[in-house]
DNA sequence: TATAAGATTGGGAGCGCTCCCTAAAGTGGA
DNA sequence: TCCACTTTAGGGAGCGCTCCCAATCTTATA
């Protein structure tokens, strides 16, 4: 029956059983005799039959795919997360639907809408909008599309989150700089309204470290997490304050921009000035000089995040409370930092 | 009728019309009165109704999603393509299903299988396997899942492809080096079995340029498109042949590895040695020194590729022959190359 | 005013699958 | 051998949508 297409009926017909039996076999359910199961399995394999996921999705309202929203896929900072997410997805046979939000909330919303129409089981959002107001997240999670946030904050406590301890990380990094003898340490911060809150927390860590060392000379300049802005900020900063001996960039990409400016001013890293980055993107170790930085375990965070989302999706009792997970940063010492020169 | 879920029946009920009419409105089809259409549209908007894409997919066998297979999402080389693909997809309301093949054919196949089960309308493959044998592509395209290849070759002439003219690009780059007066130019090639054929074609361009300049001293060493391999290769090369004045790396990432080795040997770029990269990844302009390289218009290629795939998917007569598209490389001159020192 | 042509609308069937309920077949103990 | 119970299998309904065809309502034309 049913034309000549390869569907469950066709398999059933060939195997001489009913579609129900085939369905049971496909879904590995009990209630099928061994011989029958084996025969059906064989036919499925021979014909290279793939059940139609739309019909499946329609029938049981599950899709085995999750939506992944990322601010900028081109940014090496993100790809680390994605790789982790992707690995876990592959492992558990989930598909990933990808969308780019270009850092703006409206686009984020658009992506999410698209996903809902595309019926994903859940949504994973990594970092995200620069410009606040993500109230739509509440709607989303209320509408029982499970959401999980990586590297992002919200007020909504019921949305599970995976974050890194930015405060402690920054503290550790700046303390390291101060231990090296630096007295005048500048901080090129990111974007205070960024939804991850990373910039704010790291700045806090920076301040705490200075404070603990009895230094009250805070030099904080915005770099907006952009190479270009950090480049300019560095030029300005060094123009105005010649005695800075170390700069803490709140992202490696910004540090790369800063390095360029420092170079252009005829200064040497780390001899004249020490540079500390943040994130440990692949490139950090490849540039000249290799960057000392605070590693953020992005692959692990992505992997764990996807795992957590899957477990939420697959558990029957969705009411279980998922604890947020926090990772620690790790100081990776390379060649862009050294003991301060004993001058005066 | 039909429980309380928000579906086409519900909308129809509220609007006091039939589901058929609602369907027509949703799909923007003719045959609906203006008042009716307006009323339905309003209700849809008020209730924030999203048609279920599975039901749609089931009913008309279209999904508005494409599968994207990429070798390594973490590699900055790929993200440029992806961004272009993504932009075009968003524009035309297509979803992207992402998968990582980690350079191996088996994983590629696995991704594609997953996609088929996930019922994508078509598949876009960017570059891909290092290890030949992609006969499965024939099956795929025979099974009328349209496939489009970016930066990749196959024997199957019926699969549309988007490529860059690697031969001419490399020729142009090496000619530029030779015009600068370099006589001993080495080439760190990629991977000859890579499915893109990029390495092979670029090497050909390199050879042709040398030949045209009457130089028969070809120095070709494999770097396998890996930072680490290129790093080692460069060390070996410079150890053995001290008089090399320029090196052409067949990828920017390899050039970055090479730069590190050159630095470690106490050589200066571009004073002692000129370095030419290939691809023009974002980082090329940010490193020290900014890299002279051959730009590959990845964003455009991705965008065009997605566009071509969509047009294949949406045209009724799938038999139309799609011509392959070829892009040109562009020489981007920065600071890693200069005129050869007049020594002897 | 009648009537054909056209614009609207409604309803049924079907897309391929899962779930539920019932029927048939098999199993074992008295 | 019979009955109660378990295992295995089949069929119908439904998931939410689109497509096709027939029914109804308009409108224009003679």
Cβ A287–B288 below 8 Å, yes or no? Answer: yes
Phi, psi of A147 (to 5 degrees): -125, 145
Domain A166-296 in CATH 3.40.50.2300? The answer is yes
Instruction: Look up residue B323 and give its DSSP letter.
Output: P
Comparing B78 with B173, which gets the higher pLDDT? B173
Q: Which nucleotide lies nearest residue A19, CA to C1'?
A: D10
Comparing B250 with B195, which gets the higher pLDDT? B250
Cβ A65–B259 below 8 Å, yes or no? Answer: no
> Strand D: which nucleotides have any atom within 7 A of a protein Cβ?
7-12, 14-20
Structure tokens at A324: 């947020």
Q: What percent of chain B has pLDDT over 70?
A: 92
Query: Distance, angstroms, CA B6 to C1' C19?
Result: 21
Fold of B8-51: 434 Repressor (Amino-terminal Domain) (1.10.260)
Architecture of domain A64-164+298-326: 3-Layer(aba) Sandwich (3.40)
Query: Distance, angstroms, CA A34 to C1' C30?
Result: 30
pTM as predicted:
0.85
Q: Is the pLDDT of residue B343 over 70?
A: no
State residue B164's pLDDT score.
96
State the pairing for strand pair B325-327/A161-164.
unpaired
Please tell me which residue of chain B has the smallest CA distance to A298: B74
Q: Using alpha carbons only, what angle is made at residue A68 by residues A312 and A320, rounded to the nearest 5 degrees?
A: 15
pLDDT digits (tens, 9 = 90+) for B154-203: 877 888 999 999 999 999 999 999 999 999 999 999 988 777 889 999 99
A95 vs B86, B90, B118: nearest CB: B118
Q: Is the pLDDT of residue B315 over 90?
A: no
> Strand C: which nucleotides have any atom within 7 A of a protein Cβ?
7-12, 14-20
CA distance B340 to chain A (A): 23
Domain ranges of chain A: 8-51, 64-164+298-326, 166-296
Q: Which nucleotide lies nearest residue A20, CA to C1'?
A: D10
Q: Which nucleotide lies nearest residue B20, CA to C1'?
A: C10
Comparing B144 with A207, which gets the higher pLDDT? A207
State residue B1's pLDDT score.
44
Query: Distance, angstroms, CA A177 to C1' D27?
Result: 85
Query: Distance, angstroms, CA A22 to C1' D8?
Result: 13
Domains B8-51 and B166-296 share a fold: no
Cβ A83–B100 below 8 Å, yes or no? Answer: yes
- List chain B residues with CB under 8 Å of A68: 98
State residue A315's pLDDT score.
74
- Name the pLDDT band for B212 (thresholds 50, 70, 90): very high
- B63-163+298-326 — its CATH code? 3.40.50.2300
Instruction: Judge contact between B343 and B326, C-beta under 8 A.
Output: no
Average pLDDT over residues B274-294: 93
Q: Which nucleotide lies nearest residue B29, CA to C1'?
A: D18
Cβ B86–A100 below 8 Å, yes or no? Answer: yes
Q: What percent of chain B has pLDDT over 90?
A: 59
Per-residue pLDDT of chain A (344 residues; tens, 9 = 90+): 445 688 999 999 999 999 999 999 999 998 889 999 999 999 999 998 888 888 988 888 888 889 999 988 888 889 899 999 999 998 888 888 888 888 888 888 888 877 777 678 899 999 877 665 667 777 776 667 788 999 988 877 888 999 999 999 999 999 999 999 999 999 999 988 777 889 999 999 999 999 999 999 999 999 999 999 999 999 999 999 999 999 999 999 999 999 999 999 999 999 999 999 999 998 898 888 999 999 999 999 999 999 999 988 887 555 556 779 999 999 999 999 999 876 54
Cβ A117–B50 below 8 Å, yes or no? Answer: yes
Q: Is the pLDDT of residue B115 over 90?
A: no
Please tell me which residue of chain B has the smallest CA distance to A48: B113
Q: Is the pLDDT of residue B242 over 50?
A: yes
């Amino acid at each position: 029956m049913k034309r000549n297409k390869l569907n469950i009926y066709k398999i059933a017909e060939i195997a001489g059983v009913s579609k129900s039996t085939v369905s049971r076999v496909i879904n590995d359910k009990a209630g099928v005799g061994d011989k029958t199961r084996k025969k059906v399995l064989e036919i499925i394999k021979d014909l290279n039959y793939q059940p139609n996921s739309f019909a499946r999705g329609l029938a049981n309202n599950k899709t085995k795919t999750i939506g992944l929203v990322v601010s900028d896929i081109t940014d090496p900072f993100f790809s680390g997360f994605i790789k982790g997410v992707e690995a876990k997805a592959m492992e558990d046979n989930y598909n990933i639907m990808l969308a780019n939000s270009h850092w703006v909330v409206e686009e984020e919303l658009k992506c999410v809408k698209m996903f809902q129409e595309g019926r994903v089981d859940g949504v994973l959002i990594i970092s995200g909008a620069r410009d606040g107001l993500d109230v739509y997240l509440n709607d989303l999670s209320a509408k029982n599309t499970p959401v999980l946030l990586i590297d992002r904050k919200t007020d909504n406590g019921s949305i599970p989150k995976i974050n890194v301890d930015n405060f402690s990380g920054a503290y550790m990094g700046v303390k390291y700089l101060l231990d090296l003898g630096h007295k005048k340490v500048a901080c090129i911060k990111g974007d205070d309204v960024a939804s991850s809150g990373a910039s704010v927390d790291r700045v806090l860590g920076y301040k705490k470290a200075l404070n603990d060392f009895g230094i009250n000379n805070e030099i904080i300049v915005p770099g907006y997490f952009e190479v270009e802005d950090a480049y300019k900020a560095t030029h300005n900063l060094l123009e105005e304050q010649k005695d800075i001996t170390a700069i803490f960039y709140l992202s490696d990409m910004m540090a790369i921009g800063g390095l360029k400016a420092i170079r252009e001013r005829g200064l040497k890293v780390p001899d004249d000035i020490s540079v500390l980055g943040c994130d440990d993107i692949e490139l950090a170790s490849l540039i000249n000089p290799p960057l000392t930085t605070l590693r953020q375990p992005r692959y692990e965070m992505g992997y764990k995040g996807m795992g957590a989302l899957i477990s939420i999706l697959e558990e029957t009792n969705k009411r279980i409370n998922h604890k947020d997970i926090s990772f620690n940063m790790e100081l990776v010492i390379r060649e862009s930092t050294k003991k301060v020169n004993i001058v005066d």
